[in-house]
Amino acid sequence: MKKIAVFAATLLAALTMVSCEDPEIKDPQDPGKEDVKPTPDPDKPTPGPDSEATPTGSFDYTKLDAVAHPRVLISAEAMTALQSGALASNPAAKIFNTSIIERCDEILTEGDLANDLVNKRLTTVAEKALERIFFLSYGYRTTQKAEYLTQAEKDINAVCGWTDWNGGNYVIDAAELTAAVALGYDWLYDNLSEATRTAALAALKAHAPALVTEAENSTNAICNAAAGLAALAMYDNGSKATAAKLLDDAVAANKKGGFAPYGHAGAYVEGYDIWAHATTYEAMLISALEAVFANDGGLYATSESFVKSAEWALFMVGTSGNVFNYGNAQEKAEPKLANWFFARKENDTKYLHVEKKLYNDGVSYKGRFSEYRLLPAIFALMDPAQATKIPAAPTSHYWYCDNNGEAADGMAFVAVFSTDEGVDSYYAVKGGSANGYNGHQDNGSFVYDFKGVRLVTDLGAGNEAAYAEAAGADYHNYSTGSARWTSAWAYSNLAHNVPNFYEVGATTKPTAATDGMTTLNTAWADSPWGANGKNYTRWNMGGVNSDNAAPYVSRIDDATRPLERDFQFNAAGQLSIWEKFDVLKDCTYRWQCVVPKEIVVQNMNTNVKLTLPDGSSRRLKLTTKNCYLNGEQMVVNTNTNPKMVAFVEPLTGEFEGYHVIGFEGNFVQGDEVKLHVSFPEK
């Protein structure tokens, strides 16, 4: 959608345009009777310029002086154009609009919002408040249905009546509530009572400035974007200087730290879902600034990695339709509004390759997905014309980034699609360090899809709020021994597809040290399909603890020299994994992976049988002698004859139905270990 210019029309003219375009709404109790649209209160002050002097700052605030409410994301003129254009003729826009209106009707049947903490978080309530207020505000603007306005105003007053928005405990809660009130205040401004406007403005002044942060993680984009939206909404009624300073501060802080999680190449260190959360807020702020000022303050151009992350996102979804859900992410692919934003900004429909499948299924955009509460923003983020085109698939079948000399939490990432027709297979590997914000002990972990079926998966976010409450102050403590790794077991090395080392005879498997780092072999980056062979990637997995007498607290360097892990597809889409390491002291070595609950597993002693949903089967097979990697013989050379025993361990509780499977055996100091794991049919 081409950028819609912000017009300097008066509010009266804007409302006249909307009323001409709006359909007549019938009373549901009497289909023959028209609803009476609310009459503007003559005692309300006319929104727009006030007597306060225009402030100076990072933006041309004279442009904001000339814009009446609504002005955040979608102006009155833009809404009129949307109704007469995309909503009238565009299939995708119709789907999104229908989903929102149907949800508005459901909201009318629900109870009041309640300020209830769950696991010391207000997240469920904050997200529900944002969804209800944002949806109802959109619903009223497009239909003029009085019930939507009444309920939205009731919800705004409920939120503004809560003195504590939980910002001191979990700042994202306060950000979501700030966005909710800002959007409701701006979008419904002329139809809200004076008391509601006063309460909303006071709440925004009280809570929005505290959101400004220079943090180098996802909270930066979410919080500063919410503060920026609030600043645009509250710019009037004696708040011009306050709002301008808030907007300037939020944009500056956002530029300083908000793009750090995108790394140097776009692989988002905190995972796919948090990427979507932070990036959608970032996209909303950029789009809102462009609509008012025709200038985003340089945000979009701040980091090349921000744009590169759109390409990375394409390779996060495997052929199974499941995500490589490292970090705090869910397994099943779901709509991501940020993809529409990047497709518009870059004028490239390839970023809609996954989205087109999701809205064509007729279900995904109507159900509950992570960013569903932000769905009305899609009309400001997207170009509706792009939804009528068939997105071209990415021309490349692999995507990678290496650490490139970054700090310990820098990402290394590879995703590869098989290119042979009919194979439909995929694997992806994550490197970096567990020290990154929201990081897991998953360095070198991978997922694998075979012919459209997820064979090896990641447990992802789990019950993140419960983990946070259980770990307390340690939840964001990434050091060895932190309660993060025991309270959030799903975040530890024991729950990921990584090599593990234990003291021989240990009755308890220890969680790892977190100072290790996995790097992608940079020689591969120079020639990804060269001498090393097709679809081949090599990973160096190492730590920093070189004291061989130290306790077993690291999964690699305490027991071995840095481990090398290699991945390769064959022509049939079968994944092979090789590992090499030298044993520095006696240890138990464990090769493991997590299998999703759709797969039936059976321990066959020397291998593990995997039965797929269609009844076909694969094997998890281990070879320790006479295996080859691109022509190089990989014979195990050890002082003993190790016996690696297959194991199958069912998970319980929230991961009921999943299994951890693999091989385990003992090695002694001096062993030079080389082994090969594959997934053959027999």
Token output for 89: 């003729």
Say how far apart CA 75 and CA 90 lie, in whole Å. Answer: 20
What end-to-end distance do the CA atoms of the chain give, in Å?
A: 52
Ranking 159-168, 294-303, 660-669 by mean pLDDT, the lowest is 660-669
Beta-strand ranges (E) seen in 1-128 are: 26-27, 30-34
The separation between CA 192 and the C-alpha centre of its own chain, rounded to angstroms, equals 34
**Dihedral sign from CA coordinates of 252, 121, 376, 238:** negative
How much is the average pLDDT of 145-162? 98
Q: Which amino acid is at 251?
A: V
Q: Tell me if 427 sits within 8 A of 567, measured CB to CB.
A: yes
Position 570 pLDDT exceeds 80: no
Q: What is the pLDDT of residues 16-33, one digit of tens each?
A: 333 333 333 333 333 333
How much is the average pLDDT of 528-535? 44
Q: Is there a cis peptide before residue 650, judged by omega within 30 degrees of 0?
A: no
Say how far apart CA 481 and CA 134 lie, in whole Å. Answer: 43
Ranking 418-422, 656-660, 662-666 by mean pLDDT, the lowest is 418-422
Q: Tell me if 465 sits within 8 A of 121, measured CB to CB.
A: yes
Ranges 152-161, 469-478, 664-673, most confident: 152-161
Q: Tell me if 556 sits within 8 A of 468, measured CB to CB.
A: no
Q: Is there a cis peptide before residue 70, judged by omega within 30 degrees of 0?
A: yes
Q: What is the pLDDT of residues 239-288, one digit of tens each?
A: 999 999 999 999 999 999 999 999 888 999 999 999 999 999 999 999 99
Token output for 31: 């289909």
- Average pLDDT over all residues of the chain: 84
CB within 8 Å of 68: residues ≥ 6 apart: 9, 10, 11, 14, 47, 48, 76
Q: Where are the domains of the chain?
A: 11-40+60-388, 398-678
Q: Say what the alpha-carbon torsion angle 151, 153, 157, 158 is, to the nearest 10 degrees.
A: 20
Say how far apart CA 224 and CA 233 lie, in whole Å. Answer: 14
Higher per-residue pLDDT: 327 or 554: 327
Find the helix or strand (DSSP H, E) in which 481 lies: none
Say how far apart CA 590 and CA 227 lie, in whole Å. Answer: 48
Position 48 pLDDT exceeds 80: no
Position 41 pLDDT exceeds 60: no
Position 596 pLDDT exceeds 90: yes
Residue 388's pLDDT is what? 87
Ranking 313-322, 519-528, 542-551, 572-581 by mean pLDDT, the lowest is 542-551
**Residue pointed to by tokens 């990637």:** 537
Per-residue confidence band for 557, with pLDDT thresholds at 50, 70 and 90: low
Give the class (CATH, top level) of 398-678.
mainly beta
Say how far apart CA 555 and CA 502 lie, in whole Å. Answer: 7
Residue 110's pLDDT is what? 95
Angle in degrees, 0-180, between the axes of helices 146-160 and 123-143, rounded to the nearest 10: 150
How much is the average pLDDT of 480-507? 88
Per-residue confidence band for 581, with pLDDT thresholds at 50, 70 and 90: confident
Position 156 pLDDT exceeds 90: yes
Say how far apart CA 93 and CA 113 lie, in whole Å. Answer: 29
What is the Cα Rg of the chain in Å?
27
Residue 250's pLDDT is what? 98
**Residue pointed to by tokens 């023959």:** 32
Q: What order do you get walking across the sheet with 446-450 strand by strand?
A: 398-401, 412-417, 426-431, 446-450, 453-456
Residues of the chain with pLDDT > 90, as a percent, come to: 59
The DSSP call for residue 367 is S
Ranking 63-67, 120-124, 391-395, 419-423 by mean pLDDT, the lowest is 419-423
Domain 11-40+60-388 sits in CATH at 1.50.10.100
Class of residue 368 by CB neighbours under 10 A (exposed 0-12, middle 13-18, buried 19+):
exposed
